Amino acid sequence: MDFGVIERNWSFLLGQGFIGLGAFAGGTLRLAVPALALGFVLGLFIGIARLARSRWVRIPATLYVEFFRGVPLVMVIFWFWFILPQALGVALPEYGIALTAFVVFEAAYFGEIVRAGVQSVPRGEVEAALSSGLGQAQTMRHVVLPQALRNMIPALVTQFIVLFKDTSLASIIGYVDLTKAAQIVNNREIRPFELYLFIAVIYWLCAYGMSRYAGYLERQLATA
């Protein structure tokens, strides 16, 4: 056991790998945070589209969700790795590929959360809003979504934990996140036990912290 390896590579592992400051366009947080924001926005549209009255909107959204929930994330990452440069005709950095893959993939899961959230708003709220003279879109924006979002918060935090852990898979296309940083250091120092235990602890602290926070939010919402 030689935990000095962590100390020697501290700034590379945490600065470069975890946060994303350094020579590589990498970082677990730099991928996870925009993927969360963009994935949620896309998921919002997909979740609402799944509840649309027109089947031309509803069926494509349903197919989207069912497709991405039936395929492993690793497969989706490889798809984008091959397709995006082909389709755009330019070489893309790993960051762009990983971010696109995560946004598209996670949007399917966020969409399901949004749908459940919207469905949790009592039907009477919609009827009351419509009868007060609001339009369909206004009802959605001013009455349904504010309530639905509140109900969604615990599920959203849980899904963010999943996304946060999933970002480790971006390392398979060479994106330098925390996992890849540990691999790089390990190739040089051959200290697998210390390094993988160290990153496990880092991931654990973040994920466990967030899950405690999700539990706290759930209790807050239950009493409110």
Partner 1 sequence: MKYTFDWSVLWSGQAGLWLLQGLLTTLAISAVAWLIALALGIVAGALRTARFAPLRIIATAYVEFFRNVPLLVWMFFFYFAVPTLLPQPVQEWLYDHGAEFSAGTAALGVYHGARFSEMIRAGIQSIPKTQLEAALSTGLSAAQAYRLVILPIALRLIVPPLTNETLNLLKNSSVALTIGVAELTFQTRQIETYTAKAIEALTAGTLIYLILCLAIARAMAHVERRFAIPGMVGSAAEK
Residues that bind partner 1 (CB under 8 A): 67, 70-75, 78-79, 82-83, 86-87, 89, 161, 165-169, 171-172, 179, 182-183, 186, 192-193, 196-197, 199-200, 203-204, 207-208, 211
Spatial separation of the C-alpha atoms in residues 196 and 113, rounded to whole Å: 32
Q: How far is the CB of 130 from partner 1 (least distance, A)?
A: 31
C-beta of 45 vs 79, nearer to partner 1: 79
CA dihedral angle for residue 207, residue 67, residue 98, residue 106, rounded to 10 degrees:
-30
Tokens at 167, concatenated: 């970002």
Shorter beta-carbon distance to partner 1: residue 143 or 152: 152
| Angle, helices 94-119/73-88, rounded to nearest 10 degrees | 120
Question: In this complex, which beta carbon is closest to partner 1, that of residue 16 or of residue 179?
Answer: 179
Smallest distance, Å, CB 68 to partner 1? 10
205 vs 102: CA distance, rounded Å? 22
Q: What is each CA distance from 202 to 21, 37, 67, 98, 164, in whole angstroms? A: 17, 22, 32, 21, 12
Least separation in angstroms between residue 79's CB and partner 1 is 5
Cβ distance to partner 1 smaller for residue 204 or 216 = 204
- Least distance from C-beta 220 to partner 1, angstroms? 19
CB of 129 to partner 1, least distance (A): 29
Q: Which is nearer to partner 1, 128 or 162 (CB)?
A: 162
Q: Any long-range contacts for 160-163 (C-beta under 8 Å, 24+ apart)? A: 160/32, 160/36, 160/210, 161/207, 161/210, 161/211, 161/214, 162/109, 163/32, 163/35, 163/36, 163/39, 163/102, 163/106
41 vs 162, which CB is nearer to partner 1? 162
Cβ 183 to partner 1 shortest distance, Å: 8
